[in-house]
Amino acid sequence: MATLSKSENTIFREGPVIFIVTGTQAPFDRLLLILDKWASNQEKYTVIAQMANSKMHFKNMHCFNYLEPDVFNEYFINADVIIGHAGIGTILTALENEKKLVVFPRRVKYSEHRNDHQLHTAIGFEKLDLINVAYNENELVRYLDNPHAIAEKKRIDNKAERRLIDALCSFVNK
């Protein structure tokens, strides 16, 4: 699976797209397996996965180990639904671009991360009503089978809140 260059980017002509985002640090096979299995039973969506060097072979998705930031952004912005690990990059990029997002936290009990902070990130952002979370396979498949249930969250602008910027400004210019 090679890195995708822009000239190869013709996948979007095939209809609505689900883009799976798993970060750059470690594979997330539990999520990819659920999606690959789900994709085998449907024809409506094209499923594209950024799979962070997974060693597994997936038959029902277009998989890329790594996408350059500009290509990644193009895929992200053009997708209809984003399914991601609960990484902050994924969450903030979805909110900035008003994308439908479901996060599926990496868990330490499956050796998917060094600790369970993704679970806590998901809980924290859910409390702010900024994301949809699937905590297990059933919840994720329910969202996939019924994408209308994936709530669109309010768009955020591309800056931190004013009081944080002001506080940092005053420290910097002190």
| Residues contributing to the site for other proteins (CB under 8 A) | 23-25, 68-70, 87-93, 95, 114-118, 120-121, 123-125, 128, 130, 156, 158-169, 171-174
C-beta closer to other proteins: residue 79 or 103: 103
Q: How far is the CB of 161 from other proteins (least distance, A)?
A: 5
Q: What is the dihedral of CA 33, 37, 40, 44, to 10 degrees?
A: -90
Q: How far is the CB of 146 from other proteins (least distance, A)?
A: 28
C-beta closer to other proteins: residue 46 or 93: 93
- Residue 49's H or E segment, with its range, is strand 46-50
Q: How far apart are CA 82 and CA 7, in angstroms?
A: 23
C-beta closer to other proteins: residue 55 or 69: 69
Q: Two tokens at 104?
A: 């599926």
Q: How far is the CB of 122 from other proteins (least distance, A)?
A: 9
C-beta closer to other proteins: residue 43 or 171: 171
Q: How far is the CB of 65 from other proteins (least distance, A)?
A: 14
DSSP H stretches of helix in the chain: 29-40, 69-78, 88-96, 117-127, 137-145, 162-172
Q: How far apart are CA 124 and CA 130, in angstroms?
A: 9
